[in-house]
Structure 1
């Protein structure tokens, strides 16, 4: 099955100076590129300062891309979370994460790592792998 490269310019923020697709579908898998807490409706808006607000905005972008491709966050098989201040921001990010994945019996796999920097001085970035049969 060929790869399907998806861009959702009306649904998600444009790549900030980089070249990539918002998502790539490979068979039943959808790989959503890492999303920052950028407002898709106002790319010039400053990023929120609070880790909780940033994480909600990241999930808003992930949801919009997933929906554009015909998926939902319930299809998430795996998440990768990048934090620039792991010790400080992990608890706040994790509380918001629970809002989007509340069912302990259906939690996606996840890796969460601390990084030195993210684009636009964001505090969090998340990418997803979704699966639908």
Structure 2
């Protein structure tokens, strides 16, 4: 039976979807934007480094609300609006959040635009132990 999770501590979704869907211990996290959990209308952080940090922190809020953390993440899909400009700086932040021997599988895609004018969005697939 599928479960559809809304996490009170996580940012308000920017569209009509839940924070995560779960089935048989598999947890699919909706892509997070670099919005602020307590003020969805506040300006986004400035630049790819700050936005990547905020996105990962938002994903950690969703994971934490479900009793999980980044160690449970098996796969990430990452979207960048300025791929060539931001890929290296994005990678620096991303790799700092996962141990070198425990980095999830990942796809990073350049896109033309993201919701709320964001530079980055990340979704995740996690598995309960």
- Shorter-chain TM range is over 0.9
Runs of 5+ unmatched residues, structure 1:
none
CA distance in 2, matches of 1:25, 1:44: 28
1:42 is matched with which residue: 39, 42, 47?
A: 39
Runs of 5+ unmatched residues, structure 2:
none
| Structure 2 partner of 1:82 | 79
Q: Does structure 2 conserve the Cα–Cα contact (< 8 Å) formed by 1:11 and 1:61?
A: no
**Deviation (angstroms), 1:132:** 2.0
| Structure 1 partner of 2:108 | 112
Shift >3 Å, 4+ stretches: none
Q: CA RMSD in A?
A: 0.9
In the comparison of the two structures, how many residue pairs are matched? 129
CA distance in 2, matches of 1:78, 1:126: 10
CA distance in 2, matches of 1:45, 1:104: 34
Could you state the TM-score of these two structures normalised by the residue count of structure 1?
0.94
Could you state the TM-score of these two structures normalised by the residue count of structure 2?
0.96
| Structure 2 partner of 1:69 | 66
